[in-house]
Amino acid sequence: MTVLDKSSKDSLNTPYFMINEQALINNLEKAKQLKNISGAKLVLALKCFSTWGTFDTIKPYLDGTTSSGPYEVRLGHEKFGGETHAYSVGYSDADIEAVKPLSDKIIFNSLSQLTHHYPKCKDDASLGLRINPEMSVAGQDLANPARPYSRLGVKQSLLDLSVTDKVDGFMFHMNCENKDVDAFIAVLDHISSTFAAYLDKLSWLSLGGGIFFTYPGYPIEKLGLALKAFAEKHSLQVYLEPGEAIITRTADLVVSVIDIVENEKKTAIVDSATEAHRLDTLIYNEPASVKEASKDGQFPYVIGSCSCLAGDQFCETQFPQPLQIGQKLHLLDSAGYTMVKLNWFNGLKMPSIYFEKVNGQIEVLNEFGYEDFKGTLGR
């Protein structure tokens, strides 16, 4: 692995992601605190963050990984270790053959998937079933797993106690960036009462991800004690599947201003694009935050991408001084659901990925070029 001296940081070519190890450790220490209080095990959600060059920092704190597709299962098994949980909305026969020798737990999304694949993997892993609790804490309907006609998980009305003859555990995933511990406890109480007959026959339960326990001021002890009481009541090993909670506020997407255009508003064009490099900004209409901006700034700008999509912009914000062509901007909190969603739209340069270690050195996790772009489209 290439390691750069910290003095070279200012000369790195944009765009690039810079992951900060100390910020990552700060979140992981909170995860450790939650584990100690609750007795829960925590597995990293690779659908959110799969940048495996950071795994050596994360592994001492977490218990393994959870996945949403076969390649994530393999990556977690090969590069992280610990427990490897496999979940998919739909497994093909080939998928099951690929994941069953790598997985400690295989979780099915439907009763039909469980019935179809059970004979092939019942002796290879502990099996689970995703349940739809029909309530959730998700701010956006697009991310709400309990939305009407949801395809995610089995409703209680379709269950029968005989399912516990085939599975050892259930998985509930019903949160998305939930910062409200009382809202989560209300869902936990609902699960405890509605599914008690099932829980008492199971050995483990995953409560999914989306619990933002690393948010500033979050009452970790209250969450931990609620999880501990729940686990003891039903004699279960509880799992959480954090993603964003582990890597929030750990990485910037660093871009450069390459032009400034004016059409009633000034737009700073940067050498990146939401559609290619920070897709959730576009999908969820959640503006990026810029480190160099100021609430009291007197110079407003749209931070616009260099893609051809007319509405592709990172945010509108203000700066204390006029922006200059060539100036670098840091788009904050750019780790979750970014690097896992990178694409080659418009043939734009892919951001490099760097890891700033506690000692100040910078590890080069990946850099991309034309051959990488070309290789995605043919051989």
Q: How much is the pLDDT for 157?
A: 94
pLDDT in tens, 177-192: 889 999 999 999 999 9
Instruction: Give the residue ranges of DSSP H helices in 139-273.
Output: 181-194, 196-199, 220-234, 244-247
pLDDT in tens, 324-346: 999 999 999 999 999 999 999 99
pLDDT in tens, 162-177: 999 999 999 999 988 8
pLDDT at 138 over 90: no
Q: How much is the pLDDT for 296?
A: 95
Q: How much is the pLDDT for 140?
A: 81
> Mean per-residue pLDDT for 254-274?
98
In angstroms, rounded to a whole number, what is the distance separating the alpha carbons of residues 36 and 153?
Answer: 30
Percent of the chain with pLDDT over 90: 93
Q: Which two tokens stand for residue 81?
A: 């270790």
Q: Average pLDDT of the chain?
A: 96
DSSP 3-state of 372: helix
Residue of 133, 175, 136 lying closest to 157 (CA atoms): 133
Sorting pLDDT into bands at 50, 70 and 90, what band is 65?
A: very high
Sorting pLDDT into bands at 50, 70 and 90, what band is 10?
A: confident
Q: How much is the pLDDT for 283?
A: 94
Q: Which two tokens stand for residue 186?
A: 């209300």
Q: Which two tokens stand for residue 137?
A: 């804490």
Residue written as tokens 């203000």?
318
Sorting pLDDT into bands at 50, 70 and 90, what band is 69?
A: very high
Sorting pLDDT into bands at 50, 70 and 90, what band is 112?
A: very high
> Mean per-residue pLDDT for 222-227?
98
pLDDT at 67 over 80: yes
Q: How much is the pLDDT for 6?
A: 80
Percent of the chain with pLDDT over 70: 100
> Mean per-residue pLDDT for 211-240?
97
Beta strands (DSSP E) in 21-63 are: 41-45
Q: How much is the pLDDT for 338?
A: 97
Please tell me the number of Cα atoms within 13 Å of 167 on its side-chain side: 32
What angle separates helix 21-38 from helix 220-234, to the nearest 10 degrees? 40
pLDDT at 139 over 80: no
**Length of the chain counted residue by residue:** 379
Residue of 205, 139, 132, 208 lying closest to 173 (CA atoms): 208
pLDDT at 215 over 80: yes
Q: How much is the pLDDT for 135?
A: 87
For residue 284, what are the CA distances in angstroms to 49, 244, 317, 349? 18, 15, 18, 23
> Mean per-residue pLDDT for 344-355?
98
Sorting pLDDT into bands at 50, 70 and 90, what band is 8?
A: confident
